[in-house]
Structure 1
C-alpha cells in the first residue's frame, strides 16, 4: 500500500502529509505535530530533488522522516523550554495567591477552623483560628480556593 501511494502521488505525498499535520496542529494545538509536519515537508522537498535517484526508495524516505521527526521534536522542545515567559500579570491565573497579604473582614465566623470572607465580589472559604464574624483577618497563604488567614 505504501509503495502504491508513493508511486501514484510521487514526491507530493510528503507535501500533503506535512500540510495535513500542520492543519491538525491548528485544530488541536500542542506544538508537537508542527515538528512532524515540518519533517514531512523537508522529506517532500528532498523528494522533489531526488525522486529519480536509485537510492531514494520509500524505505529511505520513511527512515529519514522518522529521524527528522524525532530530531525536530527534540530541538523544538529545547528551544521552547529555554524561553523564560515573563508576564506583566504574573498572578493572572492564580487569583488566590494574588490575595496573600490583603486584609478582609470575616463575613461568617471561623468555627472549627473554617469560615468565609468576601473579597472583590467573591466569597472565599478560609481556614484559621476561631474568630467571630466581623473580625479583621489577613490572608497568609492560598491553597487552591481555600485561603489561610490570621487575625490582623
Structure 2
C-alpha cells in the first residue's frame, strides 16, 4: 500500500500531464468544451510544477495554481470563447451544393416546353422546371427559386 501511495504522492509534472491528457480525451468524446479548459489548466499546472521555483511548487502550491487556472479558464471559456459552443453552422450551405444555387441567375440553354428545360449556371448545365408555368426561350435569363432532386426550380428573371 505504501508503494502505491509513493507512486502517486506527491504530485509531479507527469501526474498533471496525465490528468490533462485524460481530460482532453474525455472532452474529445463529449464535445462540451468545459473539460477543455480544465485540461488546459492541468497542462499549465504540469509546466508550473516542472519549472516553478522550489518551494512554490509544493503540492499545496500546485493545487492552488490548478484551482485558480481551472476557474479562470472556465470563466474565460464561458464568456470570451462562448461562440465555440454554438451549434449554428457558420456556413449553412457547406456540403449542400444545391442550396447554394438558390437566388442565382442562370441562362436557358435549351428552350422550355411544358415548363421543362435546361439551364446553365456557372459552368454546369442543370435540368430545370419553371415555377410560374412559363416557357422561356433559349438565351433567356432565369432566377433559381429552389431545387428538387438534382434539378432547379426557376422563374423568368426581370430585365
Provide TM-score, normalisation by structure 1.
0.49
Provide TM-score, normalisation by structure 2.
0.48
